[in-house]
Amino acid sequence: MEQKADTDTIAAIATPIGQGGIGIIRISGPESLEILKRLFRPKRPVEQFKSHRLYLGHIFDPGTGMCLDEVLATYMKAPRTYTKEDVVEVNSHSGYFILSKILELVLESGARIAQPGEFTLRAYLNGRIDLTQAEAVVDLINSRSERGLYLASEQIRGSLRDKINALTDQLIQILGQIEAAIDFPDEEDTFLDREGVVKILSDLITQITSLIDAHSEKKTWIEGISTVIAGRVNVGKSSLLNRILDEQRAIVTAIPGTTRDVIESILSIEGVPVRLMDTAGIRQVTDDEVEKIGVQLTEERLKEADLVLAVLDQSLPLSPEDIQLLEKIRHKTALLVLNKIDLAPAIDWNQALKDLPPFPTLKVSALTGEGIPTLKKEIVRLVIGTDKDLDPSGIAPNIRQTRALKEARKYLESALQAITEGTPLEISAFELRNALDSLGEIVGETTPEHVLESIFSRFCIGK
Ligand SMILES: Nc1nc2c(ncn2[C@@H]2O[C@H](COP(=O)(O)OP(=O)(O)OP(=O)(O)O)[C@@H](O)[C@H]2O)c(=O)[nH]1
Ligand SMILES: [Mg+2]
């Protein structure tokens, strides 16, 4: 990493804005203590602020002499702090005005307002954490399940970093052999154990592949299973959403084309976070501009969905729209939901289904609630599987890390091919160096600046 942390002092409100018990203003940088001294009058005289101690006192406006709030202030001396810089935290009462006012005084006293994620960026640039740990902080905050919390906290403790470092060490070791053999071509046998290298390379590829496979776990547990309810108009999609959530979330009417927007709700089924989306019903002939846009939105959500609940009204015959939908989602994980089983079936469904893509099928009634518990279980089972033997290592890379792992794997495969085919060793060495760079991007050693920016911009202010 070439980039260095700025050395000015930054400040931000570190707690959510709003009324609450406590609000925290966080300051980091060399001026932190001076700024605190300017604004804070401790209850009892303080000779010297000791590090990591809480002091009770008042915040004053040095301009007017007005007392603003009774607070608890902490000074944390570098480097044993979140950013490895001097850090001050002021715990005040929480309200928009009081927190803004204290922040304003801190800024007037010499700090600059922190960018989103800038405290964590400094922790990273100052070498306290690597990039995988920084990214896990966002996961921890965003996590929607206990398993997600576990994955994030393991990663904050360095599980992914350690894994990547172990892979990197092995790579460096074989690269060393190959480079020595390049430098001393007559003594290749002394330096290079070709068979051994091939074995290690294959093993590295296997390890990287299992890391890549673990990616979907992260998405599931931290963001939730994105589940899209789709179907033609009036089949009962919104009723189904309401029934699964057990609340009147979406408008239900007998008029076809009621839902126009995507209506999203989150619920937990057996501890698994599920993002359930009700969408506009699909129908071909509509002149309604709003409805057309709604149908476009449906199509977009369908593409990104982890799971589709394709709803049909079993009291009506199959329509061309039903068939089109099922064809469209042929390659997705989907569940066919035959709704309205409180009404008589219009056709012999067992027969009709034989000609359709083979999705698992469930019969329900959104009106009476019949079949809904089974449907909920199926949603989880289809995405997670039944055996919950989850990887105890708790390592699951995010999208960015997975991309870098795929790059690394590509280079390793080329290197492996080159070495088995007897191509000049320079080629293998070149590919291995590329693989090292890709792995380095994951922990932040070779990460381009624009990537860092996009990572830290996902943080909230004050983190
Ligand atoms: N008998 C019966 N009627 C149902 C059932 N589910 C929904 N309905 C009725 O079907 C009509 C349409 O229901 P909605 O939930 O609005 O259907 P939708 O698929 O969201 O419709 P659009 O938003 O217009 O695409 C309403 O009159 C519901 O009361 C069911 O299981 N049984
Ligand atoms: Mg609807």
- What are the pLDDT digits (tens) for 280-315? 998 876 678 888 888 888 889 999 999 999 999 999
> Residue 449: inside a domain, yes or no?
no
**Å from CA of 237 to ligand 1 middle:** 7
Structure letter (DSSP) for residue 220: I
Nearest bound ligand to the CA of residue 237: 1
**Å from CA of 430 to ligand 1 middle:** 61
* Overall domain count for the chain: 3
Nearest CA to ligand 1 atom 9: 236
Nearest CA to ligand 1 atom 17: 236
Domain boundary among 89, 108, 130: 130
Residue ranges in 354-398 assigned as alpha helix (H): 372-384
Question: What is 338-352 written as a DSSP string?
Answer: EE-TTSPPSS-HHHH
Q: Say which amino acid occupies 309.
A: L
- Verify that 84 and 145 share a domain, yes or no: no
Give the chain's end-to-end CA distance (angstroms, integer): 21
Nearest atom of ligand 1 to the alpha carbon of 311: 19
Domain boundary among 83, 99, 130: 130
> Residue 210: inside a domain, yes or no?
yes
pLDDT in tens, 327-348: 999 999 999 999 999 999 999 9
E-assigned strand segments in 29-65: 40-42, 53-60
Higher model confidence: residue 6 or residue 69? 69
Q: Which residues pair with 73 in a beta bridge?
A: 55, 90
Structure letter (DSSP) for residue 417: H
Per-residue confidence (pLDDT) for residue 275, from 0 to 100: 94
- What HEC string does 400-411 produce? HHHHHHHHHHHH
pLDDT in tens, 439-460: 999 999 888 888 888 889 888 8
Ranking 8-22, 56-70, 74-88 by mean pLDDT, the lowest is 8-22
pLDDT band, residue 93 (cuts 50/70/90):
very high
Q: Contact at 8 Å (CB) between 326 and 299?
A: no
- Verify that 126 and 144 share a domain, yes or no: no
- Verify that 189 and 312 share a domain, yes or no: no
Closest to 311 (Cα-Cα) out of 340, 272, 283, 337: 337
Instruction: List the domain range (segments joined by +) for residue 46.
Output: 10-130
Residues near ligand 1 (Cβ within 6 A):
231, 233-239, 252-254, 256-259, 281, 339-340, 342-343, 365-367
**Å from CA of 295 to ligand 2 middle:** 12
CA distance 78 to 128: 11
Per-residue confidence (pLDDT) for residue 386, from 0 to 100: 60
Q: Contact at 8 Å (CB) between 36 and 91?
A: no
Structure letter (DSSP) for residue 114: P
Per-residue confidence (pLDDT) for residue 285, from 0 to 100: 66
> Residue 221: inside a domain, yes or no?
no
Residue 239 belongs to a domain with what CATH number?
A: 3.40.50.300
**Å from CA of 366 to ligand 2 middle:** 12
> Residue 390: inside a domain, yes or no?
no
- Verify that 168 and 109 share a domain, yes or no: no
Structure tokens at 295: 């149908």
Nearest CA to ligand 1 atom 13: 236
pLDDT at 251 over 50: yes
> Residue 410: inside a domain, yes or no?
yes
pLDDT in tens, 163-204: 999 999 999 999 999 999 999 988 888 888 999 999 999 999
Residue 155 belongs to a domain with what CATH number?
A: 1.20.120.430
Nearest CA to ligand 1 atom 16: 252
> Residue 451: inside a domain, yes or no?
no
Tell me the average pLDDT of the chain: 92
- Verify that 31 and 116 share a domain, yes or no: yes
- Verify that 317 and 235 share a domain, yes or no: yes
- Verify that 235 and 380 share a domain, yes or no: yes
What angle do the packed helices 399-421 and 425-443 form, to 10 degrees? 170
CA distance 36 to 66: 16
pLDDT in tens, 359-401: 999 999 999 999 999 999 999 999 887 655 567 778 999 999 9
Please enumerate in sequence order all residues whose Cβ is within 8 A of that of 95, keeping only pairs 6 or more positions apart, or say none. Answer: 18, 19, 23
pLDDT at 1 over 50: no
> Residue 455: inside a domain, yes or no?
no
CA distance 266 to 328: 25
- Verify that 167 and 307 share a domain, yes or no: no
Neighbours of ion ligand 2 (CB under 5 A): 237-238, 258-259
pLDDT at 423 over 80: yes
| Mutate which of 234, 316, 337 for ligand 1 pocket (most atoms within 8 A of beta carbon) | 234
Q: Helix, strand or coil for residue 226?
A: strand
**Å from CA of 252 to ligand 2 middle:** 6
pLDDT in tens, 99-112: 999 999 999 999 99
Q: Measure CA 271 to chain center.
A: 18
- Verify that 246 and 376 share a domain, yes or no: yes
pLDDT band, residue 87 (cuts 50/70/90):
very high
pLDDT in tens, 129-145: 999 999 999 999 989 89
**Å from CA of 351 to ligand 2 middle:** 28
Per-residue confidence (pLDDT) for residue 388, from 0 to 100: 56
> Residue 332: inside a domain, yes or no?
yes
- Verify that 191 and 252 share a domain, yes or no: no
Tell me what the mean pLDDT of segment 241-256 comes to: 94
- Verify that 372 and 243 share a domain, yes or no: yes
Residue 69 belongs to a domain with what CATH number?
A: 3.30.1360.120
